[in-house]
A = this chain, B = another copy of it.
Amino acid sequence: MSDAAEWSPLPRSRTYELVLEAIEEKILSGELGVGDRLPPERDFAEMLGVSRSAIREALRVLEAQGVLRRPRVGTGPDSGSMLGGTASIGLSRLLRMHVALANFDLDEIVEARIIMERASVELAAAHADTKALARMRYLLDRMDDPSVPREEFNDLDTEFHVTLAEAAGNRLIADMTTAIRGAIRRPLLKAFELLPDWGSVAGGLRRDHHAIYDAVASGDAAEAARRVEEHIRGFYHKLGRDALRAAPGHGARDHAV
């Protein structure tokens, strides 16, 4: 062996990761399910023979993933964290950060949006109930108001697409669609603000939304899919790649990945 043999430090396996793995293993094996509680922090630390801070770090990760509900205040028998279930918030935050970091580029996001939203509206055309349709009409009415500010229009627009996704009756598809739409909310808003002819763009968006709604309400899945694809593609085209690229938070800096 040469004198120049190089040694690199071994990666340290950190305690909180071991705690995470132990909890994940019990979830994947079915031993722990929704509604079950983890032991209170102090007891849990003793059981696993680790520090309370390692437990707390692991719980924070699970909370951010939506796997754990926020613990209730107090120290009684209900004080341990409960396993819960909302994937959408954790999923949205994760995708939002990676979109902002430009780990996905705009073309990839647009294609993924089209795929998810085509699927969503096809399913919505088959499954949307009267309540979901009423909600969509309410959102369309509000967007039809010519005095609505751009930011509010953007939020109503997001909610319209989220309502369509939820009407699809598939929570995984709805969550992914919502996460992608949420991830680009801010760059879209910035691009909206830069548009010189907001009035004509908004008019186009209104017509598209009504056409999508009509296809979904009449149960025409193919037409709904065609309309939503045209809407998304046309919108990004009109917005101009440059406007979106220049929007802070999306590709504002030219980072190699």
Contact = CB atoms under 8 A, between A and B. Distances in A.
Nearest to A170: B108
A76 B94 CA distance: 29
Given A30-B252, A34-B102, A85-B257, A65 B53 contact: no
Contacts of A103: 34, 85-87, 171
B94 A255 contact: no
A123 B29 CA distance: 35
Chain A interface main SS type: helix
A253 B33 contact: yes
Nearest to A98: B87
A87 B179 CA distance: 13
A65 B94 CA distance: 6
Interface in A12-68: 12, 16, 20, 24, 27-30, 33-35, 53, 56-58, 60-62, 64-67
A115 interface: yes
Contacts of A222: none
A109 interface: yes
Contact of A29 (B16, B35, B248): B248
Nearest to A61: B64
Interface residues of A, number: 67
A148 interface: no
Contact of A57 (B60, B67, B98): B60
Contacts of A53: 53, 56
A1 B11 CA distance: 61
Interface string A79-111: 000010111001101111110111110011101
A233 interface: no
B111 A98 contact: no
A236 to B, nearest CB: 15
A85 B70 contact: no
Contacts of A108: 170-173
A249 B29 CA distance: 5
Given A53-B56, A87-B95, A94-B94, 9 more contacts: A24-B97, A28-B186, A29-B249, A33-B252, A66-B98, A67-B98, A87-B104, A91-B91, A111-B173
Task: Give 4 nearest A-B pairs by CB, closest first.
Answer: A30-B252, A85-B103, A30-B248, A87-B98
